[in-house]
Amino acid sequence: MTERPEQDGRMEVSVYTDGACSGNPGPGGWAAILVVGERERELSGREPQTTNQRMELMAAVAGLRALKRACRVTLYSDSAYMINGLKQRWYVTWRKNGWLNSNREPVKNRDLWEDLVELIEDKGHEVTFGKVKGHSGHVYNERCDALARAAIRADSTG
């Protein structure tokens, strides 16, 4: 995706994400839509056995990984778990506590949280987070939901 960069050289990108699961745990799908100006890029994938929260995180990881250079990113999701964890920086405390949560139990989905934090902190992106109300008619959220659900049904060989 190439568009005219902003004054600081960073392209402005909106990344919309969603995850879905058939059963929880069960087969899951994720989707991300990257929007730069009037251009859009859709990404999606599936896991044969996973949880909804893992798919929510995977969508964000995949969306940010698709960016090939430092960008100014607004990451949108209907996942309170993910958005609150990022906005409130839960991961800072988790890291400090050896990736244990407030109950002194291992943080669930640690691998994806670590990937997400690395992509946000170490790749030079300037990231802000937006909460989208799920299933409320938001065009990109509805499209991500449809892509994630389609990924669940997709044949794993193709």
List active site positions.
18-19, 56, 78, 135, 145
Name residue 47's beta-bridge partners: 28
Q: Are 134 and 148 in contact (CB under 8 A)?
A: no
Contacts 24+ apart (CB under 8 A), 91-95: 91/117
Closest CA to 127 of 90, 55, 76, 53: 76
- With vertex at residue 120, the alpha carbon angle to CA 117 and CA 121, rounded to the nearest 5 degrees, is 80
Dihedral over Cα of 49, 131, 143, 135: its sign: positive
**Strand 26-36 relative to strand 39-50, pairing:** antiparallel
